[in-house]
Amino acid sequence: MYADLDLDRTARRGYPEAVYCAGKTPAQVAGIAATVRGRPDVITLFTRAEPEHAAAVLAELPDARHDADAGLLAWPPTPPTPAGGLVVVVAAGTSDLRYAREAKLTARYLGRPTELVVDVGVAGLHRILGHLELLRRARVVVVAAGMDGALPSVVAGLIAAPVVALPTSVGYGAAFGGLAPLLAMLNACAPGVAVVNIDNGYGAGHLAAQIAADPPAADRP
């Protein structure tokens, strides 16, 4: 057997496990999808799904939701009723959109209410400033940015909530596949910036969903 899916992870950690498709054969992904079918009580996400992975999943789970841009499938297709604080996802440019969508969908399927804001890079500050009210309503903001990775610093300086910084591999040569924004985000001059891996929209969305979860009743003021 090539996979030992951790279906009780929801019980243990409170969040479902995702199936990372990259590096798996479509047959392996199909086998996992078949296993999942017996557990409609648990939402399963398939991330980094190329078209052939998606086809393999849909053959087993025809009603799965498939977002091709984000390379994501979710089954069962209906996300949970929103609970917890608002997750706002911001894409610096259109080219960052696919990763921003992956983050937004992940947070939504993990149970949070979500909003998406696009094309608000720091080269035109009026754009991001125009969304200040929404940003200040969020319990966490995910900021996807390539190139100089400057937007998370700016957003973190404007709000009290934490920022999840998602570097993307968008940019010219010296972006070095996302290294430039990754380093910029790790060095954000405003505190409150949590960095995840390059192009890892799933990780950003998952982390945001955890941060925006309501505290357990016993732990509330």
Q: What is the closest distance, in whole angstroms, from the C-beta atom of residue 88 to its own copies in the complex?
A: 13
27 touches its own copies by CB under 8 A: no
Applying CB under 8 A, which of residues 120, 141, 143, 144 lies at the interface with its own copies? 120
Residue 11 three-state SS: helix
Applying CB under 8 A, which of residues 92, 105, 107, 141 lies at the interface with its own copies? 92
196 touches its own copies by CB under 8 A: yes
Residue (of 177, 181, 179) closest to 144 by Cα position: 181
81 touches its own copies by CB under 8 A: no
Closer CB to its own copies, 11 or 63, in the complex:
11
209: Cα within 13 Å, side-chain hemisphere: 25
Applying CB under 8 A, which of residues 18, 30, 54, 103 lies at the interface with its own copies? 18
Instruction: Return all residues near 19 (Cβ < 8 A) that are at least 6 apart.
Output: 5, 29, 32, 33, 44, 45, 46, 47
Q: What is the closest distance, in whole angstroms, from the C-beta atom of residue 13 to its own copies in the complex?
A: 5
Applying CB under 8 A, which of residues 34, 55, 134, 190 lies at the interface with its own copies? 190
Residue (of 110, 92, 88) closest to 163 by Cα position: 88
Length of the chain: 221
Applying CB under 8 A, which of residues 39, 79, 115, 157 lies at the interface with its own copies? 157
Q: Give dist(CA 14, CA 210) in Å, integer.
A: 9
